[in-house]
Amino acid sequence: MADRQRGAAASSGSGRRSVVDPAIRDALLALIAAGLSLVSLAGKISQVPSDDQVVPFLEADGLGLGLVLLGTLPLAWRRQAPLPVLAVTAISTLLVESLGYPPPPLPFAMLAALFTVAEVGSFRVSAAATGAVVAGLAVAALAGSGTFTDDKLLAYMLSVVGTWIAGYWLQLSRGRAAQLEQIADLERQALAARTRLAVEQERERIARELHDLVSS
């Protein structure tokens, strides 16, 4: 009884940790992404468009700060609402780029949100979301204020596609692991059933032998 109680308490504790820990990790991820983006926003580093003319980024202001926070802090809810979080982070990231504010080297928040969609969503949903992000990057590159160089656009595109592949591969790996675990459980149950049957048959054989011995 005591062992069962300790096992139940351990299971309950692990359940609580599985609920709390992901939320803490997501909040830390959101804060880290916000910090990196704010550092880039405050850096005011000049950009070099494709025509080699140095053009300064816009200076940080209230709009830029709001877009950065809107595009990063929602990561704290990426597991609860993967698609809405991806939409918010992607739109905010593209606006920062298009308006000419200093962006981070890579759109960390948008990539984290896309990874979550690829990790938990169906292939069709995650592929459509990835296509929408790629299309948004292309539109921002064509209609933006010059923050997108060819090299930068290529790096963004590759990072988006690579993130989707990594997230979906993780989903497939977990699915295979769950299948193998289910098969192992079924095999253990079948072995236990065969063992019980063998024990019962042996008991019946011994009972018959005892009965025959007593009768004789």
Least confidently predicted of 62-66, 68-72, 92-96, 187-191: 187-191
The pLDDT of residue 17 is 47
pTM of the model: 0.70
Alpha-helical (H) ranges within 82-149 are 82-99, 108-120, 123-143
Please give the DSSP secondary-structure letter assigned to residue 71: T
Which among 139, 135, 138, 82 has a CA at the least distance from the CA of 110? 82
* N residues, the chain: 216
Mean pLDDT (the chain) is: 80
Residue with tokens 């993780």: 170
Structure tokens at 50: 């494709």
Whether the per-residue pLDDT at 87 is higher than 90: the answer is yes
